[in-house]
Amino acid sequence: MNILHIKYAVEVARQGSFSKAADALLIAQPNISRSIRELEEDLGVTLFSRSAKGVSLTPEGEEFIGYAKGILRQIDAVEELYKSDCRAKQRFSVSAPCSSYVSAAFAEFSCGLTDDCASVSYRETSSYTTINDVVGNTCDLGIVRYAQGNEKLFKALLEEKRLVSESVAEFLPVLLMSRENPLAEKADVTSADLASLTEITHSDMLFGLSSGQKVGREAQDKRISVSDRATAYELLSQNTSSFLRTVPLSDIQLEKYGLVQRRCCDDHFVYKDELIYRKGYRLTSLDIGFVTALNRIKVKYKGIK
């Protein structure tokens, strides 16, 4: 397999056009077309669907491009390593769900980076994307979240992807709300109590691999969907009739945003966070430092064990 052909395929996928890819790479379009055709023949699959409107990736093409990007990143890393003065540069990369305890652990971990030559990457995303990131070498470590009832399916998926997993944490979701929320004084809240409130939803990144089961009330009449935690916390602190189902926060974070967290009596589904990495991958000193920070930080969060 020719590395140039791989680069051409990635650029065509990015541009959605052979001609635009040729312009970007400063080569003739027939050369790109021929290279992609040879690559498809070598692989025995069709990577791109051609039409008058341009090109699009086939399912096989989507999978290939994921691996191709990882290969090119590794090539770039090797070139950078041997062209720079920092031969012993340490590298760390992780994809994880949106979780306060995970980001707090990463912040603590980052404070210990004393090496002048260190390349570190932290990405918050969904569990399925995390799995693809680790399989495709986009990152070395991942943290995925799934409902405990789905553990058998989850383990089968990891085995299929040739990934190793280690337990990081488990928790029951909590209801996060303003101190001024009418339910803030209740130790335990029911689904009926939530009926008149507005639910803040945090895309699909909160509970990762879905349990396929509804948590609490099946249909909340009023919802506000946001894509980042900062906006969610701001809404909760100012909109006193709203709530968010989430992972438990620390007392420091609750105090910072003027929030409280309460249990919903109807939420019985335990969720698990697991560290994943490729089979055969050996954890580096930075990887171990991050895992150590995770274990140290999570004890500060009531409800996470």
Q: What is the pLDDT of residues 231-283, one digit of tens each?
A: 888 899 899 999 998 888 888 888 988 999 998 888 778 899 999 999 999 89
Return the pLDDT at 84: 57
Residues 255 and 279 in one domain: no
Q: How many CB atoms lie within 10 A of CB 104?
A: 20
Band of residue 203 on the pLDDT scale cut at 50, 70, 90: low
Residues 44 and 155 in one domain: no
For residue 217, the domain's CATH number is: 3.40.190.10
**∠ Cα 278 282 286 (to 5°):** 105
Q: Is residue 104 part of a domain?
A: yes
Q: Tell the burial category of 194 from Cβ atoms under 10 Å away from its Cβ (0-12, 13-18, 19+).
A: buried
Residues 156 and 183 in one domain: no
Q: Is the pTM of this model over 0.75?
A: no
What average pLDDT does range 143-160 have in this prediction? 89
Examine the pLDDT at 301 and tell me if it is beyond 90. no
Q: Is residue 305 part of a domain?
A: no
Q: How many CB atoms lie within 10 A of CB 176?
A: 26
Chain centroid, CA 298 distance in Å: 19
For residue 10, the domain's CATH number is: 1.10.10.10
Return the pLDDT at 292: 93
Look up the domain containing 61 and give its range: 3-82
Residues 56 and 22 in one domain: yes
What average pLDDT does range 129-136 have in this prediction? 90
Return the pLDDT at 89: 64
Please, are residues 220 and 199 in contact by the beta-carbon 8 Å criterion? yes
Q: What is the pLDDT of residues 34-47, one digit of tens each?
A: 889 888 988 999 99
**Which of 82, 114, 148 is where one domain is finished?**
82
Range in 161-175, 176-190, 205-219, 224-238 the model is least confident about: 205-219
Q: What is the pLDDT of residues 63-77, one digit of tens each?
A: 999 888 888 888 877
Band of residue 179 on the pLDDT scale cut at 50, 70, 90: very high
Residues 180 and 243 in one domain: yes
What average pLDDT does range 12-21 have in this prediction? 89
Return the pLDDT at 290: 92
Q: Is residue 115 part of a domain?
A: yes
Q: What is the DSSP string of the chain?
A: --HHHHHHHHHHHHHTSHHHHHHHHTS-HHHHHHHHHHHHHHHTS--EEEETTEEEE-HHHHHHHHHHHHHHHHHHHHHHHHHSS-TT-EEEEEEE-S-HHHHHHHHHHHHT---SSEEEEEEE--HHHHHHHHHTTS-SEEEEEEEGGGHHHHHHHHHHTTEEEEEEEEE--EEEEETTSTTTT-SEE-TGGGTTSEEEEETTTSS-B--SS--SSS--SEEEEESSHHHHHHHHHH-TTEEEEESPPPHHHHHHHTEEEEEETT----EEEEEEEETTPPP-HHHHHHHHHHHHHGGGSTTB-
Mean pLDDT of the chain: 84
The number of distinct structural domains making up the chain is: 3
Band of residue 88 on the pLDDT scale cut at 50, 70, 90: low
Range in 15-19, 117-121, 164-168, 247-251 the model is least confident about: 117-121
User: Amino acid letter at 66?
Assistant: G
